[in-house]
């Protein structure tokens, strides 16, 4: 079985509908979030991608030098998005000469590991591997390779029909599990890079180390978070409160003022007085923690048990 994905750039594909990508049958998506020490956005795309059922990664375009700071920038973006990463290794100068070496790659990945983020895939095409001296890639992330059987545009599935087994051949003691086979796929009204993975959706989720919640499960979590937010808002909703409140002796007799539910205790006629309750701050704190937990689950669901 083969599943398909896209890798997209927040500037080059600006305005693309993430939801439409999923609706057209794609299962995974990589979004550029950083290059060098600069960031490119993409957080909203990743959030929406997960919400509509895409398996998501963020990727970094590596520049030579300053690998530690580059990795720290990338790690921050991965943590914000709650997704694993992919490293993009293909930088060239104005003469189209490769500017990276395998030392740059290893230094960057070592700092990513030190930052506690996962980078399970590395886009390092064979043409670039040749230019940097065909180094040993054993022990590095799984290869995301590229080989284009056609330069014409079209639908991803039709273009992939032209891909032969030779385009999946490994190099550098590493085997490509993802293949970028075109930069001209018509997806959601844009021309984008399309990629293939020879395996199931569950296989890809396992490869990148994420749980694969269904769109319905994600929707349930989002609804749960919305309900928690509603509860938090209710705690601060204003209620009419009768005068002569024992906690506010300075209010003129007969004046109706307003109080929040946090300090409101009703009586028989639906008015009330302020009730200082030591448990209110604890309730607010617990709701905030619950909201944060559900938000984290939406962003990065736990991996499936092995």
Please say if the pLDDT value at position 23 is more than 90: yes
The per-residue pLDDT for 48 is 94
**Residue 288, Cα to own-chain centre: how many angstroms?**
22
Mean predicted lDDT score pLDDT of the chain:
85
Residue of 109 and 51 predicted with greater confidence: 109
pLDDT at 170: 95
Between 115 and 292, the higher pLDDT residue? 115
User: What CATH fold (topology level) applies to the domain 2-212?
Assistant: TIM Barrel (3.20.20)
Instruction: Name which of 157-171, 180-194, 239-253, 276-290 the model is least confident about.
Output: 239-253
Segment (H or E) for 240: strand 238-241
Q: Cα–chain-centroid distance for residue 22?
A: 15
**Domain range summary for the chain, segments of one domain joined by +:** 2-212, 217-299
**What is the Cα–Cα distance from 185 to 273, expressed in whole angstroms?**
65
- How far apart are alpha carbons 115 and 79 in whole angstroms? 10
Residue partners of 90: CB distance under 8 A and separation at least 6: 61, 123, 124, 125, 128
* Residue in 31, 33, 38, 35 with CA at minimum distance from that of residue 57: 31
What is the Cα 90 distance to its own chain's centre? 23
CB-count exposure of residue 298 (10 Å: 0-12, 13-18, 19+): buried
In angstroms, rounded to a whole number, what is the distance separating the alpha carbons of residues 89 and 99? 10
Among the listed residues 67, 4, 62, the one whose alpha carbon sits nearest the alpha carbon of residue 32? 62
How far is residue 301 from each of residues 56, 85, 214, 216, measured CA to CA in Å? 12, 15, 11, 13
Q: Which residues have CB under 8 Å from 166's CB, separation 6+? A: none
- Range from 60-64, 158-162, 264-268 carrying the lowest mean pLDDT: 264-268
Confidence of residue 57 (pLDDT cuts 50, 70, 90): very high
Mean pLDDT in residue range 246-258: 55
Q: Does residue 165 have a pLDDT over 90?
A: yes
């Amino acid at each position: 079985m083969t599943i398909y994905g896209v890798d997209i750039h927040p500037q080059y594909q600006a305005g693309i509908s993430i939801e439409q990508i999923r609706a057209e049958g794609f299962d995974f998506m990589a979004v550029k979030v950083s290059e060098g020490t600069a960031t490119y956005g993409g957080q909203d795309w990743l959030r929406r991608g997960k919400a509509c059922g895409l398996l998501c990664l963020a990727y970094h375009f590596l520049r030579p030098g300053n690998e530690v700071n580059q990795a720290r920038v990338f790690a921050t973006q991965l943590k914000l998005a709650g997704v694993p990463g992919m490293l993009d290794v293909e930088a060239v100068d104005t003469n189209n000469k490769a500017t990276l070496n395998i030392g740059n790659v290893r230094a960057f990945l070592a700092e990513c590991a030190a930052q506690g983020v996962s980078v399970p895939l590395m886009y390092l095409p064979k043409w670039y591997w040749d230019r940097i001296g065909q180094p040993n890639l054993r022990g590095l992330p799984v290869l995301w390779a590229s080989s284009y059987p056609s330069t014409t545009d079209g639908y991803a599935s039709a273009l992939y029909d032209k891909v032969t087994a030779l385009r999946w051949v490994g190099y550098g003691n590493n085997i490509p599990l993802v293949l970028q086979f075109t930069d001209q796929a018509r997806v959601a009204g844009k021309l984008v890079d399309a990629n293939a993975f020879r395996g199931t959706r569950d296989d890809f989720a396992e490869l990148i180390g994420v749980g694969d919640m269904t769109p319905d499960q994600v929707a349930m979590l989002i609804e749960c978070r919305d309900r928690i937010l509603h509860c938090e808002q209710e705690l601060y909703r204003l209620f009419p409160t009768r005068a002569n409140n024992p906690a506010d002796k300075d209010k003129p007799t007969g004046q109706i003022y307003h109080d929040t539910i946090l300090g409101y205790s009703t009586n028989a006629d639906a008015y009330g007085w302020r009730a200082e309750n030591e448990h209110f701050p604890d309730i607010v704190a617990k709701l905030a923690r619950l909201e944060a937990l559900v938000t984290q689950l939406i962003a990065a669901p736990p991996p499936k048990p092995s």
